[in-house]
Amino acid sequence: VKAMPRRIARAVVGSATGVLGWRPVGDRLRLSVVNADSSAAELRTALREAGAEVSILRHAKPTMEDVFIHNVEDQRGRHD
């Protein structure tokens, strides 16, 4: 997701139903969602209603970095 202003985008993504987690990657937000198709439509609507201008909102295949971060966060959750 790439939307401006970023502050609004982060707030909307952080409170959106179906978003399991997110992290900033450069000027974008990389999300982990329950259902990519329904989440994309809901996020686009919520971002626009909040006054954000959406320039990119697309499905991306998980990268090795995504898997690594997921595993690290999962282990932190078990040991905390």
Q: How many CB atoms lie within 10 A of CB 32?
A: 16
> Over 70: is that where the pLDDT of 79 sits?
no
Look at residue 61 in the predicted model and tell me its pLDDT: 87
Mean pLDDT across the chain: 91
Share of the chain above pLDDT 70, in %: 96
User: Could you report the per-residue pLDDT of 53-69, keeping only the tens digit for each?
Assistant: 999 999 988 889 988 98
Q: What is the C-alpha separation between 48 and 40, in angstroms, rounded? A: 12
Look at residue 71 in the predicted model and tell me its pLDDT: 86
Helix axes 36-49, 6-15, angle to 10 degrees: 130
Q: How many CB atoms lie within 10 A of CB 42?
A: 17
> Over 90: is that where the pLDDT of 75 sits?
no
Please count the CA atoms within 13 angstroms of the CA of 54 that sit on its side-chain side. 20
